[in-house]
Copies of this chain bind each other. A is one copy, B any other.
Amino acid sequence: MKLTEAEWQIMKALWAEWPATARQIADRLSGEVNWAYTTIKTMLTRLTEKKALKETKKGNVSVYEPIISRPDAQRNALKSLVNQAFDGAFGPLMHFLLEDQKLPENQKEELLKVLKEGEQTGGGNGGV
């Protein structure tokens, strides 16, 4: 499952709160994009075909809910990026992030915290 840029917008609006109608989604997006209502409907239809979300009729109105969760979508996107640009290795990506992106101090600290937590919990919820 590969979401396009426009599809991410839609999905984010849906993840924010669901189930939601096309109208609700359009309203949520109205501050960010300038799409016609039918454009949004088209995207919703395509996302339904792609099994990224589920459409249910309430009377004659469709309500939508995500099938893939946001973390799953993030995982997929990240995995694609890592494979494509970083030869599949997380290490170099991290390196890159840390060396190159010049994290603000507070984020470094947060990161250290997370790293230490990780040592105890061994956390995570696994696969895609």
A118 to B32, CA, bound (A): 36
Copies of this chain, count? 2
Which residues 1-19 of A sit at the B interface, judged by CB distance below 8 A? 5, 8
Contact indicator per residue, chain A 82-125, by CB within 8 Å of chain B (1) or not (0) = 00111000110111111111110001101110110011001111
Please indicate the chain B residues that have their CB under 8 angstroms from the CB of A86 in the complex: 74
Most chain B beta-carbon contacts within 10 A, residue among A5, A85, A91: A85
Contact B78 A99 (CB under 8 A): no
Contact B95 A124 (CB under 8 A): no
SS class, residues of chain A in contact with chain B: helix
Name the contact of A84 in the complex, choosing from B8, B71, B84, B94 (C-beta under 8 A): B8
Contact A85 B78 (CB under 8 A): yes
Please indicate the chain B residues that have their CB under 8 angstroms from the CB of A101 in the complex: 75, 78, 90, 124
Known: A5-B84, A78-B101, A112-B115. 18 other contacts (CB 8 A): A8-B85, A71-B100, A74-B96, A75-B100, A78-B85, A81-B81, A90-B97, A91-B111, A94-B97, A94-B107, A98-B118, A99-B114, A100-B124, A100-B125, A102-B126, A108-B115, A112-B112, A115-B115
Say whether A20 faces chain B, with CB atoms less than 8 Å apart.
no
